[in-house]
Structure 1
């Protein structure tokens, strides 16, 4: 005979989660009296007041009663309980069975640990880009093979600006038309997925003014998944070179994406290492 593990119903899971998050809060942090409290944390009425919802309705949620809460109510409760992004997502999954709509936040760069991940890829150009395709971190191989992002002002470290505005980047593409079409479609999908539609408007308007080709491709409204594939470049020193590229989400940072270009051959990898070493010598 096997023991059957009972799993809580969704409403019970939501109720338990709310109680636990409420209990961890310190009333003193909110300027509330701490005496004569039978249980730790805030009272239900205090959470309801902070969330600007009915105390009765909040009590029902903690008791597993009533219907499903709305996204607006869950958002208010998340703010009232000072939930982190991952805790807020979990709250929505319990309450509505789906994650919340994406809230885009402009990236403030990467952590030293994430930069060390890039630096460990000695022969593989790798970069971190935002949802609006601004490059915020890269390794030495990327600077040597793709673009020397460090030599550009921050506002110019944007992949679309480079594809449509830098003649050297354009010349390096084997099939610029196909690359440009793919980049615009994948960019549109990434920006929408991250909820960054408003944030990219200025960039889109600027590129549409300066590049008729971008304006035409943007009007086509195509979307594509970046995923993985093969990229070929004409490098001024290395000559023709091919990469297998892969794109990864950065866990806990929905605003960032990692792209790694692995050399297709061992010879190409060795040549990239030599190029990076030569650049290091000339810079010293």
Structure 2
């Protein structure tokens, strides 16, 4: 008898999916989800019928899921199960991964905090300009090298500290970017891709409306619906003090903050950038 490796993997994943559902169900008590305690329970946690009720699915069908049967849950049902089982973001992603569905992380709202470890990493990157972007591409933290290269973010408030807003509305920043048009177009396409799951969010909608009014290029390009994955590349800058410099930039995802990224600029030998940056940083540290 020939064993199909792909089928074996699928079956193993179904079993793991069912075991994960069962483990989360057994961690919850009725009081955790607003249900009455009822009669004495012979096993820990919620009953299958209680989870099915909370998720709006049939008890038999939910039982099949826990048993690893050949049934497929839609993304909507997976979200309902995640809500019913009170899964945290990591558990929710795990549930979707085991079901071979795209992750459905819930959009985040409210203030964003930069972890202390990431703050310390920024400081340690003394020879590389770097900053942290939040979910709306607001600059949340930065290092001294970023201040020397891009200006003091601490002097900017509100939308002025948003990187998309700065690219399209700040004349000094536009002058700094040698290849402004391609940088702006790519930034806009990456921002659209990142903002997709926040469609309709008031903070995003207000920023987009502001940029539409303020920038003819943004107004012309936004309706094109162009999207790009976050990418690394080279960026040429004409700095008023440091002169012409070329950097390789990389955006790194922050694992426990899905909508946060660390952007690092590494000086290249091209245009004598490494030497120019060191001199620029020396002058700024002396002031």
Query: Structure 2-normalised TM-score?
Result: 0.84
Distance 1:156 1:64, change over 3 A: same
Give the structure 1 partner of residue 104 of structure 2: 101
Q: Identify which of structures 1 and 2 has the higher relative contact order when contacts are C-alpha pairs closer than 8 Å and 6+ apart.
A: 1
Distance in 2 separating the partners of 1:225 and 1:59: 39
RMSD: 2.6
Query: Are the equivalent residues in 2 in contact too, given 1:124–1:269 (CA < 8 A)?
Result: no
Query: Are the equivalent residues in 2 in contact too, given 1:15–1:63 (CA < 8 A)?
Result: yes
Q: How do 1:212-227 residues align onto structure 2 when only pairs under 5 Å count?
A: 212-227=216-231
> In the alignment, is residue 55 of structure 1 matched against residue 56 of structure 2?
no
Find the partner of 2:145 among 129, 141, 147.
141
Q: How do 1:1-284 residues align onto structure 2 when only pairs under 5 Å count?
A: 8-27=11-30, 29-30=32-33, 32-33=36-37, 36-65=40-69, 67-95=71-99, 97-106=100-109, 108-192=112-196, 195-199=197-201, 200-265=204-269, 268-269=273-274, 271-273=276-278, 275-276=280-281, 278-282=283-287
Displacement, 1:78?
Answer: 0.8
Give the structure 2 partner of residue 3 of structure 1: none
- How many residue pairs were aligned? 275
- More helix by percentage: 2
Query: Are the equivalent residues in 2 in contact too, given 1:122–1:273 (CA < 8 A)?
Result: no
Distance in 2 separating the partners of 1:143 and 1:137: 11
Secondary structure of the structure 2 residue equivalent to 1:59: helix
Secondary structure of the structure 1 residue equivalent to 2:265: strand
Query: Are the equivalent residues in 2 in contact too, given 1:131–1:196 (CA < 8 A)?
Result: no
Distance 1:154 1:140, change over 3 A: farther
Unaligned runs of 5+ in 1: 1-5
Query: Are the equivalent residues in 2 in contact too, given 1:28–1:34 (CA < 8 A)?
Result: no
Distance in 2 separating the partners of 1:176 and 1:20: 52
Distance in 1 separating the partners of 2:224 and 2:68: 48
Unaligned runs of 5+ in 2: 1-7
Displacement, 1:217?
Answer: 2.0
Query: Are the equivalent residues in 1 in contact too, given 2:245–2:276 (CA < 8 A)?
Result: no
